[in-house]
Structure 1
Amino acid sequence: MARVAGTARGLDIDRVGSGSGDGEPTLPVASVARRLGVAPSTLRTWDRRYGLGPSRHTDGRHRRYGSSDIGRLELMQRALLRGASTAEAAQYALEQMPRADFVPAPAEPAEATKTKAAADDVEVPSRLARRLSTAALAMDVGAVQRMLVDAIRELGVLQAWSGVIDPVLTALGARWRGVHAGAEVEYLLAECVYAALIRATPVLDEPRNQRPVLLACVPDERDNMPVYALAAALAGRRIGAQLFGIALPQEVLAVAVRRSAPAAVVLWANRADADPRLFARVSRGRQRTRLFACGPGWDPALLPPKVELLGDLSAAADRVEHVLVGAPR
C-alpha cells in the first residue's frame, strides 16, 4: 500500500489497490467521523447494526472507508436531518447505493420454490412499501417517484394502491396526526401519488364502453385519491371514465351527471356521514344510469334499492367493467 504524498483537508488518505487496480482513496474511521461530524463510535454502531461500514480493509485489517462507503453515510445523514429514524435513514442509504460486496444467500432447494413464490406475494408489496416510506421520510422526491413507478409497474395499479401506497399514506398520516412537524412528508408523498396515478391512466382513443362511467367524490370529501386509482385501473381495462377528483357541490355534480350522460355513476365516500339522498339528486332525468356507492362512508342499510354498494377498489373495477361491457378481457 502506498501512502499518498500530503493530505487533503488534513485527512489521513491512503490509496488501496483493489482487484481492478483502480487505487481508490480510502479514509480511516476517525477521519470519516470528523468529516461527517459524528463520533467514531457512532460509525462503528452504524456498521454493526445497519451494514453501513467500510467495504475495504488494509493489509493489517484496519477499517478504511472508500468513496462509496462515505457516499452512503452522507445519504444517511441527509435523511436523518429530514426527520427519518436511524433505521429508516440507513435503509434509505443502502437502497440508493447498494453495497457491491453484498453476498447473496445460497440458492434454495427446489422443493422450497413454491413456498417462496407464495411468500413473495406478501413480501413484494411489503418491501416496496418500506422503500417508499424511507424515501418519503428522507423527502427525496426523485426516489419517491421512482418507487411509485416501480410499484405500479411491478404490481399493477390496484395492488400497488392496496398493498403499498395506501398503507404508507395511512401510516404517515397516523404518525404526524395532531402535529405540524413532519406533516410535510405526507403532503410530499400525496403530491407524488397523484402524479403517478395520473401518469398510469392511459388516454383511450377507442374505449370499450360507448358511454362513460362518471367517478366522483361526495361533497366535502377530502380523501379523493382512491377515485384516481380506480380511474387508472378502469383505463387499463380500456373503460372510459369521466373523473371529478375535486369534491363537487351537489348542484354542480348533478349538472355534471346530466351533461355527461354516463352509463354509470360511482360516488366515493370515506366519511361516515355520506348522505344517500345524493343519488336521487344526481339521477334525475330520462337517461338510464347505473348507480354505485363505493367506500367505507356509506351505510348499506340507508342506500336506495337502485344503488349498488361496491366492495374494495379491485371489486369495484371488476363490477363496473362487467356492468358496462360484460366479462373482463
Structure 2
Amino acid sequence: MTTQPDTPRPGADTPGLTVAAVARRLGIAPATLRTWDRRYGLGPSAHTAGSHRRYRPADLARLEVMQRALLQGVTPAEAARLALGSGSTPSSPVLLSAAPGVADQVRVGGSVLRLAGAGRRARGIGRAALAMDASAVRRLVDEAVTADGLVPTWDTVVRPVLGAIAERWESTGAGVEIEHLVSEAVIAVYGARALAAPRPPAEVRPVLLACMPGERHSLPLSVLAAVIAECGVPCRPLGADLPLDALVAAVQRSAPAAVVLWAQDRRTADPAAIDGLPRTRPAFRSFTAGPGWESSPASVTHLGSLSEAVDTLCVFLGVTHRN
C-alpha cells in the first residue's frame, strides 16, 4: 500500500502539498494560486529534488488567511498583506477592517458582480456566492445580522448582492444558480431567527404573509416574517404561488389581524384577489407589498420597503419594533 503524494501523513517528513492539492483543499482554481504567488508572493516554499515547489503547513495557513480576508470583502492586495504579516495558524482569527480604495466590483474565477458603493460585508458575500460557497454565505449573512440587525442587513448587505446578481443575469443570461444559493442562505439565517424569537401570547392574532397566485418570489416575505416574529407578532408565511382558495381557507381558519399579499411581477398583482377575501369577525386589514403592485385598491395600504412594512405593521398592531 502506497501513500498518495498529495496527502502527506501527519508527522511524516514530506515536502508538502502540490498546487492541485492545495487548490482542492481551498476550493479555488490552481490558476488563482499561481496568480497569488506571482502577484503577492504567497507561493510554496518547499522544494523537492526535482525542483518542484510544494506548500508547507505555514504556506497553507497564509493562504487560508488570504481566503478568509477575501470572503470578508477585503481587496486582494490588502488580504495578501494581512496573510504575509499574520503568522497565523489556520484556526487563528484575523481582525479585518475595510481597506481604503476598495474596488466596487467583486471578481472570482472570471465572473464579476458589480457592487458600486457596497460595504465590506456585501462584497464578502458576493465573493462567497461567486465561489458557490454556501456555508460561507450563510456564515457571513449570520454575522451581519448579529452585528447590525435583520432590517439593516437586508437593506445594505443582501439587497445589493441580489441586485448585482440580477444585473449580471440581465447582461449575460447567467447566474440563476448564484441567486438561488444566496436566497437559500438568507432564508436559512432569517428562518432560524424567526424560530428563535420569543413565543407570543396565544391571544395575539397572527399576520398572514402570502404570495399571489402564480408568484414564485417568496424571499422578501421570509425576511419580513423573521422581523415581525422578533417584534413578538405570530406570523403565518404561506409561501409562493398560493392559490386563491387556499388563501381564503387560511384566512377563515386563522382569524388574522392582517394579510400581506406579495407580488414581484405586475402580472401576478390581481386586485380582484383582494376583493375575493372573506369577511371575518374580528375583521382583518389587507396590505400589498412588492414592485408588482403598480396600484392597489384605495382601501389597501401598500408597503413600499422592508422598513416601511415593519414600521406600518408594528404601528397597526400596537407593538414595538425591536430591530
TM-score bracket for the superposition, by shorter chain length: 0.5 to 0.7
Matching residue of 2:264: 270
Which of the residues 302, 317, 320 maps onto 1:309? 302
Secondary structure at 1:101's aligned position in 2? helix
- Equivalences for residues 134-213 of structure 1 within 5 A: 134-177=127-170, 182-201=175-194, 202-207=196-201, 210-213=204-207
Deviations 1:83-114 (A, max 9, x none): xxxxx9985xx59x96261599xxxxxxxxxx
- The answer on 1:223 being equivalent to 2:205 is no
Larger radius of gyration: 1
Q: Is the 8 A contact 2:288 2:301 kept in 1?
A: yes
Once the two structures are superposed, what CA deviation does each residue of 1:1-31 show, in whole Å capped at 9, x if it has no partner? xxxxxxx96xxxxxxxxxxxxxx9988xxx9
What is the rounded CA distance, in whole Å, between the counterparts of 1:148 and 1:215 in structure 2?
Answer: 23
SS in 2 for 1:282: coil
Equivalent residue, structure 2, for 1:234:
228
Count of equivalent residues: 268
Q: Deviations over 1:134-178 (max 9, x none)?
A: 112222222122112111111211111121122212322332458
Distance, in Å, in 2 between the alignment partners of 1:141 and 1:237 is 29
Matches within 5 A, 1:248-263: 248-263=242-257
Shift of 1:259: 1.3
Report whether the alignment pairs 1:295 with 2:290: yes
Cα distance between partner residues in 2 of 1:145 and 1:42 = 24
Work out the CA distance in 2 between the residues paired with 1:42 and 1:210.
55
- Asked if the contact 2:208–2:237 (Cα under 8 Å) also holds between the matched residues in 1, the reply is yes
Is the 1:283–1:289 Cα contact (8 Å) retained in structure 2? no
Q: Return the letter of the residue paired with 2:272.
A: R
Give the drift of 1:183.
3.4
**Aligned match of 1:319:** 312
Residues 268 and 65 (structure 1 numbering): CA distance in 2 closer, same or farther, change over 3 Å?
same
In structure 1, stretches of 5+ residues that fail to align are: 1-7, 10-23, 58-62, 78-87, 105-122
Answer yes or no: is the 8 Å Cα contact 1:208–1:239 preserved in 2.
no
What SS does structure 1 have at the residue aligned with 2:163? Answer: helix
Match of 1:280 in 2: 275
Shift in alpha-carbon separation, 1:75–1:184, aligned structure 2, 3 A: farther
Could you list the runs of 5+ residues in structure 2 that have no partner in the other structure? 6-12, 24-29, 47-52, 68-72, 88-93, 95-115
Q: Compared with structure 1, are the counterparts of its residues 26 and 224 closer, same or farther at alpha carbon in structure 2 (3 Å cutoff)? A: same
* SS of equivalent residue, structure 1 residue 293: strand
**Taking structure 2 as the reference length, what is the TM-score of the superposition?**
0.67
Q: Is residue 53 of structure 1 aligned with residue 53 of structure 2? A: no
Residue 129 of structure 1 is matched in structure 2 by: 122
Residues 46 and 327 (structure 1 numbering): CA distance in 2 closer, same or farther, change over 3 Å? closer
Separation in 2, partners of 1:298, 1:238: 28
Q: What amino acid is the match of 1:249?
A: P
| Residue 308 to residue 129, structure 1, CA distance change in 2 (3 Å) | same
CA contact (8 A) 2:231 2:320 kept: no
Matched ranges for 1:72-91 at <5 A:
none
Question: Which letter does structure 1 place at the counterpart of 2:310?
Answer: A
